[in-house]
Amino acid sequence: MWLRRRVFAPALLALACASVLSIGVDDRRVSRGPLPSRLTDQQFWRLSVELSEPNGFFRSENLVSNEHTYQYVIPSLERSVRPSGVYLGVAPDQNFTYIVATRPKIAFIVDVRRGNLLQHLMYKALFELSADRVDFVSKLVSRPRPAGLAANATVDAIFTALAEIRLDREPAVELYRHNLQTIKDQLLKKRGLPLSPADLQQLESIYYAFFYEGPAIRYSTSTYGTSRNNSSFPTYEEMLRQTDWDGQARSYLANEERFAYIKQLQARNLIVPVVGNFAGPKALRAVGQYIREHGETVSVFYVSNVEQYLFQDGIWPEFARNVATLPLDESSVFIRSVSSRFGYSGPYQWEDGRASALDPIKGLLRDFEAGRIQSYYHVNVRSR
């Protein structure tokens, strides 16, 4: 029989100030040396916990991005961003594509929803358990691995082969249950992460949505795995099939080398999920303190269109003040999802006027200090 879908309502955000402990090679002491080349499992978990704020609320549970043009900025990123910096991002797996493009030493994914942290732990387990891209996608959606795909198969070929697999209900559910238990074992037993029963229940709900919808899962405007998804949003499969403006595939599944780069960062515990409100009192400042204490600089901050909601809630200035505490240089850059509806006039727009664009972080902070950033329009119109 089919498993029942569960609905989880995130708790309202409770903002709380707390001290920040910088985790180095020795868990017990503040380290001011270089960033470690790997974190132990205990360091990884403690770092995530120490940097995080309490669970917050967002209007939707976006398990998949809805940004059609997210790869268009990658050639500019590769030309302008200094490799080996620190990456900050928000939301689910589109971050992996930007991480591959910018090759940071460590990445922090900061999102107001604890569900996003759990989704990244799900991805972490899947990367660690998967031998290659075909294995990864097959496990993500709980479909049998297609036979006969070469190591250099395109992402289009992988999803085409998956679509040709006929699913029988009982074997499909059995495979899903097996994969779910393997993910839990990887996180709880192999990595020793002390996830709570509530965490595990929500992780199961997230994983079930990928099983239930398969590669056709979209950005959801309601709850996990429902059919109330906006058909104008790209599916997970379409997101991974996308290319840059010139037709070059640049996603983290575009080839084995890109996949392997994310896999090795996950194996070394260097993609750290954090719960935090961009305008909150702790998370971004704590991440910045950790980076500064290790002598590094933020190279990229992928913010999607979070600023739109911060302006709506009247708290964008707090976000700008948090960003001002990060260690930055003149090459540090935002990646935004912007829209012509709010004044964006740059190239590479999708048919609905939305686009992915870049904006130098220090330039925005200077304009904020000068009083020139008063609305969401002002961050859209400056992005290119």
pTM of the model: 0.89
**pLDDT score, position 113:** 96
Give me the pLDDT at residue 341, please: 81
Residue among 308, 212, 223, 239 nearest 65 (CA): 239
Pairing type for strands 298-304 and 271-275 reads unpaired
Residue 249, pLDDT score: 96
Query: What pLDDT was estimated at residue 13?
Result: 34
CA 331 to chain centre: 22
* Confidence at residue 230, expressed as pLDDT on a 0 to 100 scale: 61
With beta carbons less than 8 A apart as the criterion, state whether 123 and 93 touch: yes
What type of residue sits at position 171? P
Half-sphere exposure of 310 (CA within 13 A, CB side): 24
pLDDT (tens digit per residue) in 139-158: 999 999 999 999 899 999 99
| pLDDT score for 162 | 95
pLDDT tens track for 249-287: 999 999 999 999 999 999 999 999 999 999 999 999 999
Q: What are phi and psi of 218, to 5 degrees?
A: -120, 170
Measured from the Cβ of residue 320, the count of other Cβ atoms closer than 10 Å reads 21
Residues of the chain with pLDDT under 50: 1-31, 221-228
Cα separation of 195 and 186, whole Å?
A: 12
- C-alpha span between 10 and 12 (Å, rounded): 7
Over residues 299-311, the pLDDT tens digits come to 999 999 999 999 9
> What CA–CA distance (Å, rounded) separates 290 from 349?
36
